[in-house]
Structure formats: C-alpha cells, structure tokens
Chains A and B, each alone.
Chain A
Amino acid sequence: MAAISREEVAHLARLSRLAVTEEELDRFAGQLDVILQAVTRVGEVAAADIPPTSHSVPLTNILREDVVAPGLERDEALAGAPDTADGHVRERATGQARYFRVPRILDEEA
C-alpha cells in the first residue's frame, strides 16, 4: 500500500506554496512514496523514553548589549528586491525606492 497518495501530495504542495504541475504530481507521488517507505524505519526504534535532540550543541538564549550598531542600509536591503515602490512625495524627490512592493494581499471582494 502506498504511504502517500497523489491527493495528499497535491495538498502538501498547496501548503508549501508550490504551484506544481499535473506531471510533477504524478512523478513526486511515486518518488515520495519510495522515500517515505524508507524513512518510516525510524519507527522501528524503541525510543519512548528518549529525549529528542534538536541541536548537537546546547542552545541558550544569547542577548547582545543593547547598544546602537550599524545595520543594513535601506537602499542595500531594497537593492535585491524584485519590485519596489516610492513612498511619500518628499521621499520620491530623492529618487530612491523606499518600500518592498508586494502583490495584492486582500481579495477585491473582501
């Protein structure tokens, strides 16, 4: 029996924000099934009372001193963006992009 169905793969792709094609769905479903059959073997290990390891080094929250330090300049942060937009008139006068421009977030009906 397959560990994962084509419908499940389609659902997971949607959750992952991947607009996969029908052909990819067919291919991935078969391949992921093989992979899942193999990785399911972790379940053979009796580990009920074993603590999980998330990192090999002990993690503690490290806070730096609360002092002003130089960060990334706004223009540098925006330089790699696929789309940017100008802001207010006064900022536009400098000729520099000021914001990340994103596609429509709300539906028109909303």
Chain B
Amino acid sequence: MGDVTRSTAAELGRRLAAKEVSAVEVAQAHLDRIAAVDERVHAFLHVDTDGALRAARAVDEARVRGDELGPLAGVPVAVKDVMTTRGVPTTAGSKILEGWRPPYDATLVSRMRDAGLVILGKTNMDEFAMGSSTEYSAYGPTFNPWDLARIPGGSGGGSAASVAAYEAPLAIGTDTGGSIRQPGAVTGTVGAKPTYGGTSRYGLIAFSSSLDTPGPCARTVEDAALLHAVIAGHDPRDSTSIPAPVPDVVGAGRHGATTGDLTGVKLGLVREFSGEGAEPGVSAAFREGVDALVKLGAEVVEVSCPHFEYALPAYYLIAPSECTSNLARFDGVRYGLRVGDDGSKSLEEVMSLTREAGFGPEVKRRIILGTYALSSGYYDAYYGQAQKVRTLISRDFATAFEQVDVLVSPTTPFVAFPFGSRTSDPYQMYLADLFTIPSNLYGGPAISVPCGLSEGLPVGFQIMAPTMADDRMYRVGAALESALPPLTPPPL
C-alpha cells in the first residue's frame, strides 16, 4: 500500500474513496509518523490520538453505510493552536492559557469535522501568533525539517513543519502579517492566505482582528485549494465574513496544473520591492520562477506601488494597537492563569501579576507599543496615520490590478535563519514579513509556492491577487508548481 504519509491529500482522498485504505489506517500511519519524528521537530503542542482515531472510525463507518462523503473525508489535518477545539487543549502558544479546554469549536474546525477531515492535534506557534520563527512560543520552538538548527518560520511554524515533515498532509494556519506564507516559504511547503473575510474568524483567538485570516497549509497547490474550499464561505458568527460565493479555487488550481498555460496572464513585478533587501540566492530563485511562468505564456509588467515601503511601519502600529485591545480579555477571571490571589491583593494587582507571569516578552512589547500608539496625544500621529497609510497601500494594489492580473515577489527576504539570530533585536525579526504584510493591509489573497533552493534551503514564491480573486493565485501557483521540479525535504 506504500507509505500513506507520503501521499498528497488529493491522492489520499481518492484512495480512501476507492476503499484501498481506511481512514483509521491513514490516521494511524500519521500518528506513528508523529511518534517517530516529532521529538525532533516539535511541530505539535498536543496530539489528540483518541479523537483522531474516533473521527477516522466514524468516516469509515459512514463510507460502509454508503453516505455521501467529500473529497477530503478521512484525510488528516493538523490545526494551529490558536483555533478553538472543543474539549481539546488550546493555548495559542501562551502560558496564560495553559490547560484551557475550549467549550466550543471554531467555525472552520466544525466545517472540517463535517467534511470528514480527521484532526490529529494542535500545532506550535509564536505566542498569540506574534513572531516569525516560533521562538516566541511559551512551549519551546519548532525545528525546521530541512535543518533542525534553523527556524521553521512563524507564527505558524508548527503547522508548516508538520506538513513538511510528513506528519500531516494538511494543516490550518492563520495569517495576520505572513504567518501562513512565511513558514510555508522556509519549509518548502504551500501556504495560502485567503481574502480577508473569506474564511471565518469565529473561534480564532484574536490577535489583530482587522488582519487575522485563517487559511490552508499543504505540500501541493491542489491540496491547499481542496482545504480552502472546505473552510471558506460566509459565517453569520463573524461580522466581517463576506456573504458571497467562494471562488472556484479547486477548479482554478487543477486548470493551472493540467494545462500549465498562462497565455494572456499579466504578472506584476513591484518596482519598490526590487531594491528591498532580498538575499541574492532568494532573488535568483525568484527570477527562475518568473522565467518559468514566462515560458508558460505569462507576460511580465513592472508596476509601481509607492506606499509599500510604509507597509511594515503601518503594520507595526495597527497590529499592536489591535492586540492591546484584544488581549485585555486575559484578565485572570474567566479562563486561564491567575497569579497572586492570596486574599490580600486587589483585582488590579492580581491582573497585573497574572499578565506579567502569563505573557512572554514579545507579547508584552506589542501590548506596550499598542498602548503607546493609542494614547491620547500620539493617536493621530501613530494609529490614525497608519490607518491612512493603509488606505494608500490598498489604492496602490487597486492601481496595480488595473494593469496586471497578479503581483509576484519572493515570499520572504531570506531563507530559514538559525535560532537566536534575530531575537535580540525584535525589528530584525519583523523584516521577515516585509513582502507579505502589504496583502494583509489590503485584504487580498496571497499564496506562497516553493520555487527551488538557496544554500540548500527552500525559497518561496509569492503570488498576490485582488480581493475575492483567490482562484487566480491558485491557477498561477499550480502552473508554477507543475513547471518546477518538486522539493523533497532531507530525511528525518
């Protein structure tokens, strides 16, 4: 039967439908793989063995009954630990939520369960999704399967590494400034940020509500599209969920992969990105990716997005401002940690001691920064001005998309870096998201697809599309994937 952990999700779905393999066998094979390698990778914070096998048995029983099942029924998935899972520990990578078992499922978790996906467990992440390396997880970092001395990206490093290490064929991430795409890039996997509002935030522990976007991680573009189709669509429980049909991402991905034809497709190269410090090896691999797309018929047009250079500063005002408000809910009363409540201390003292003990350094820095940016006297110059810059960045996208179909860039300026190399100066860590942040501020979809290696480490190719044109990035991404030789991570 071969090693099912090496199969794509699409292939697994077909083999499950043909009853060549059972969902229990597939789940067990992945649980065995996790048991064999996760001590070294540390992609998971919690493995839900019983829940996974129970869900797999239910799919097998439904199949025997002859129930109508979706294309991913019985396929395992790993879920970033920022999405609530009923009765299954959910920490958001923070000590402040250690041991918390949510009383409800996030919308996209329910949708995956309804589609028969088998949830293997919860993946590691930078605390509250703030970081680009998983070094800010309160539970220790995840290690990049390509080189265990290097970071797997962040914040969703656990999800990306679980997929790269064949512990799961699919995973869920969340992308606020690049937390799906940048880990995808540095682990040689596919990571897609859907249009903001295209996937529900209900049950996603909020970091920056105007930017947070859940999406799929996979080893192929088609697999990412299949998972995207399961989790996307309007949710009345999320007030920013878009009440419109989901673009045909699966059809677009298959079209791109099978025909490989990009005749008439215009790719925009952002002039302002060309001077912005991508490593030479990353730039070279990116250019090879562009050349591959040109061979498929695409046309390259240089476009100007003059405000993109202010995206990173604007983001590091908007996201901390929103986080300072969102993280106020961690007050030691309703859930999680409480510290110092000895009967003599006031509520305010207990709250301050709880938050001091429960939050890590990056979360504290961002809370303080956000409090500063929102203070009276600074509000207009910082938060207010950042929101205006956000408008100008969205206008840059709109103007660019009048000339081209998609924008392309490297996903991240550098390949996976060694642990500890960017933690002493937090701003150096922020630079990892230089190319991913503009799409978050604009709200449009973007995908990272592997495009070769630099210094033996994976490079990501980013495709950015207009709002609600998620299908476009899957078409171009699948065409690129089929034109390039596939990557295989070094053996673990």
Q: Which residues of A contact B (CB under 8 A)?
A: 4, 8-9, 12-21, 24, 27-28, 31-32, 34-36, 38-45, 47, 50-57, 59, 62, 64, 72-73, 76-77, 79-83, 100, 102-105, 107
Whether, in the assembled complex, B356 has its beta carbon less than 8 Å from a beta carbon of chain A, the answer is: yes
Assess whether A16 is in contact with B367, with CB atoms less than 8 Å apart: yes
Contact between A24 and B364, CB atoms less than 8 A apart: yes
Residues of A within 8 A of B426 (CB): 31, 34-35
Task: Give the contacting residue for A54; candidates B210, B341, B356; CB below 8 A.
Answer: B210
**Contacting pair A17 B351 (CB below 8 A):** yes
- Tell me which of B69-77, B177-185, B389-397, B410-418 binds A: B389-397
Q: Indicate if B141 sits at the interface (CB-CB under 8 A).
A: no
Binding site for A on B (CB under 8 A): 100-104, 196-197, 210, 236, 239-240, 242, 307, 310, 312-314, 316-317, 324, 331-338, 341, 343, 345-353, 355-356, 359, 361, 364-365, 367-369, 371-372, 375, 381-382, 384-392, 394, 425-427, 430, 441-444, 467
B315 nearest in chain A by CB position: A39
- Which 8 pairs between the two chains have the least Cβ-Cβ distance? A56-B443, A52-B387, A82-B338, A47-B388, A80-B335, A76-B103, A19-B356, A19-B352
User: Is A56 a contact of B352 with CB atoms below 8 Å?
Assistant: no
* With contact pairs A39-B317, A82-B338 given, residues A17 and B385 touching in the complex (Cβ less than 8 Å): no
Chain A hits for B307, CB < 8 A? 45
Report the minimum CB–CB distance from A56 to chain B (whole Å). Answer: 3
State whether A35 touches B103 (Cβ < 8 A). no
**Do residues A31 and B392 form an inter-chain contact, with CB atoms below 8 A?**
no
Judge whether A53 and B385 touch: CB under 8 Å. Answer: no
Query: B312, B352, B388, B392: which contacts A18 (Cβ < 8 A)?
Result: B352
> CA–CA, A64 to B353, complex, Å?
39
Say whether A34 contacts B425, CB under 8 Å. Answer: yes
The verdict on A39 contacting B338 (CB below 8 Å), with A19-B353, A80-B101, A103-B347 known, is no
Q: From residue B397, how far is it (CB to closest CB) to chain A in Å?
A: 10
CB neighbours (8 Å) of A28 from chain B are 361, 364-365, 368
User: Are A57 and B197 in contact, CB atoms less than 8 angstroms apart?
Assistant: yes
Given contacts A38-B427, A47-B389, contact A55 B240 (CB under 8 A): yes
Docked-complex contact B359 and A18, CB < 8 angstroms: yes
Give Cα distance in the complex from A46 to B131, angstroms.
30
CA of A50 to CA of B390, assembled, Å: 10
| Residue in A closest to B368 when the chains form the complex, CB atoms | A12
A80 to B338, CA, bound (A): 11
Nearest opposing residue in chain A for B383, CB measure: A52
Query: Chain A residues near B100 (CB, 8 Å)?
Result: 80
Residues from chain A with a CB closer than 8 A to the CB of B348 are 17
Given contacts A4-B372, A31-B426, A57-B443, contact A50 B392 (CB under 8 A): yes
